[in-house]
A and B are shown apart, each in its own frame.
Chain A
Amino acid sequence: MEITAETRTDVTVVSISGTVDSGTAVALASTLRAHAENGGSHLVADLTHVDYMSSAGLRALLETVKEARQRGGDLRLASVQPNVLRVLDLSGFTKILKVFSTVAAAAASFTA
């Protein structure tokens, strides 16, 4: 798994690629937490290149969205691949997280 982040105005886009499982979710959670804590509580997770996510990844997303919302922000997801979207759906995460088809739409939703 690889993670890169880019802050645009007041939205931080965290791009994740590869596999999010029990071996990588801790690194993802700590990266997302760091961005949420450092003032960038408007977070977009770009999942274009995430081909696999297990419940460990869901926990990382849950932890982050709680942290971001406590700080008045949010974590929103963009460009989720079909199999990963199915996991989010089965777990009820599409009810608690806003999902957008593109990063641009997710980023723009913070200023709408």
Chain B
Amino acid sequence: MTEPAPLRLAMSGVATPETLEAIQAFVVEGCRKAGADEAATFDFRLAVDEACTNVAVHGYAGGGPGPIDVVLESDGARIRVSITDRGVPFRPELVAAPDLDAEAEDRLPGGLGWHLIRNLMDEIEYHSGPEFGNRLVIARQLRS
């Protein structure tokens, strides 16, 4: 089997439900091209979907859906995905961790998306700035 080659793929869109669906397909295809295994492909699909859904639902809440850019890069060992938007900045430190031991009746529906991202990825960076907007970068190895 040949070693996976370095790769860089990008897509841009407006954060609508259709774009969120297209981003999932883009990530799955990118992971396959990068040589990721099935679990890593699933993890990136889910982590990127959760992040982009947060942008669409919270980042662009109140206004129309705005731009979202996704870049998937691989060096042959790890995959790194960056998600850039121009919505309201996200404050990861303010997201309460879900209480995983609570009974169903006491479980609150929020916070699961960010919880999953933190558990599926081993590298997470988030920056906001006037030049580029908000940028989340997530990464992990392409094989488990």
A75 to chain B, nearest CB (A): 9
CB neighbors of B among A44-64 (8 A): 52, 54-56, 58-59, 62-63
| A97 lies within 8 A of B104 (CB) | yes
Chain B binding surface SS class: helix
* Chain B residues within 8 Å of chain A by Cβ, number: 30
Q: Is A69 an interface residue (CB 8 A)?
A: yes
Shortest Cβ distance from A90 into B: residue:
B119
A72: chain B residues at CB < 8 Å are none
| B104 lies within 8 A of A66 (CB) | yes
Q: Is B116 an interface residue (CB 8 A)?
A: yes
Known A-B contacts A23-B21, A91-B98; A58 and B112 likewise in contact (beta carbons under 8 Å): yes
Known A-B contacts A21-B24, A23-B21, A91-B98; A54 and B50 likewise in contact (beta carbons under 8 Å): yes
Give A contacts to B, CB under 8 Å: 19, 21-23, 52, 54-56, 58-59, 62-63, 65-66, 69, 83, 86-87, 90-92, 95-97
